[in-house]
Amino acid sequence: MIYALFLIFFSAMIANNILLVRFLGLCSFFGISNKIETSVSMGLAVLFVMDMATVVSWLIYYYLLLPFDLVFLRTIVFIIVIASLVQMVEMFLKKSFPFLYRALGVYLPLITTNCAILGASFLIIDFKYTLIESLVFSTAVALGYTLAIVMFAGMRQRLENAPIPESLKGYPIAFILAGLMSLSFLGFVGMFGLHM
Amino acid sequence: MLDRLRHYWKTFDNGILRENPILRLMIGLCPTLAVSTSLINSVGMGLATTFVLVFSNLFVSLLRKFTPNGIRIPIFIVVVSTFVTLTDYMMLAYVPELHKSLGVFVPLIVVNCIILGRAEAFAYKNDAVLSTIDGLGMGLGFTLAISTIGIIREILGNGTILGYSLFGASFNPAIIMILPPGAFITIGFLMAALNALTRKGEGGK
């Protein structure tokens, strides 16, 4: 049991990293990875929302959609649930934890259209995970997201001063850098297997 | 009349070249990188997205007079996800193999930034005909870009095109190109090539 959870955790965090191997949430990956500080905040916001979103969508899927034979409404229901969840979290944080709100505030609305969140909600259904497995999976996915985006931000800061051919400056070299990072994350596939 | 047609054409080809969603605006990257492992997957994904884009643009535009400004985004999302669900089930019925290889990225068309972006930036402000044309142009621009990446990755990574072998059995494909890193590297070099071309064009002036 513990071993299975451990496998899910490391497979989701490293070998099948949500950004670099599964390609979910790339808009924010390239959009806000200019500074390490903002990347850390975004990672925390994703961790926060992803755990809640997967648990809520798991409960809705197995206790509402499946018993009433409404599986075809999955896409609509999940996106609405996630959008309203983000709004609720935002309001709750603003009122109860203003310091946390100041740290995450700007990033929360961005998360609504972050495909990593919705993607994780679909994946736990596709992989037929139990509730505990889903929670472990989503935590690992969010930690993997944070790990990748913070490392990427660090390297992009170094790139700014590097001598790069004119045409490759900016986004092209960032993509190639992401490719090389993806290659190194893919090295762990031998240990956990590719789980597309 | 001619002016009107010219205006339509301009709206249409805007999405294909000047504001190509992938190569120029850098939106809709996730499906682009994830499913472009072969030409057939890319074309399938491109056409599915185009379908959703055209119809969501049309309906957002038709409903724009009745949409309260404060809750427009949730309304856009409901419109888009309706068409995504339709596409999802149509693909499951008619092209089950393609549906299987695109996997989770079919329902994820709903969070493709291109679609919500066009609803907000274009369809909400323009009439139905123009919005449909814009959806078609943007969708085909997306299809074109994703197919280019798909062709490059399939030839280099598999030595085939649409499943037909190009170089015979002795060819040793670079498998890395159909693995995730190949997607990043291909699009990086493609953008660099486009940059170099446009810079040359500007230098000549």
A110 touches chain B (CB under 8 A): no
The dihedral through the CA atoms of A160, A163, A167, A168 has a sign that is negative
**pLDDT per residue of chain B (205 residues) written in tens, 0 to 9:** 778 888 888 888 887 877 788 877 777 788 888 888 889 999 999 999 999 999 999 999 999 888 888 788 888 888 999 999 999 999 999 999 999 988 888 988 888 888 888 888 888 888 899 999 999 999 999 999 999 999 999 988 888 888 777 777 777 788 888 888 999 999 999 888 888 887 776 654 3
Q: Determine whether the interchain pair A173/B188 forms a contact, defined as Cβ–Cβ distance below 8 Å.
A: yes
List the beta strands (DSSP E) in B12-156.
Answer: none
Question: Chain B: nearest CA to A101, how far in angstroms?
Answer: 22
Nearest to B56 by CA among B135, B158, B170: B135
Residue ranges of domains in chain B: 2-204
A139 touches chain B (CB under 8 A): no
Residue B204 is predicted with a pLDDT of 44
A176 touches chain B (CB under 8 A): yes
ipTM of the complex model: 0.83
Choose the mutation target among A14, A18, A22, A26 for the interface with B, i.e. most B CBs under 10 Å. Answer: A26
* Segment (H or E) for B56: helix B39-62
Rounded CA-CA distance B65/B58 in Å is: 13
- Cα A148 to Cα A23, A87, A125, B67, B176: the distances in Å are 12, 26, 24, 40, 20
Q: pTM to 2 decimals?
A: 0.85
Q: A-B interface: how many C-beta pairs under 8 angstroms?
A: 119
Res. A134 pLDDT band, cuts 50 70 90 = very high
Residue entry with tokens 């997607």: B183
| Range in A7-21, A93-107, B82-96 with the lowest mean pLDDT | A93-107
Nearest to B113 by CA among A50, A12, A118: A118
Task: Name the residue among A74, A167, A178 with its Cβ closest to that of B192.
Answer: A167
A111 within 8 A of A41, measured Cβ to Cβ: no
A24 touches chain B (CB under 8 A): yes
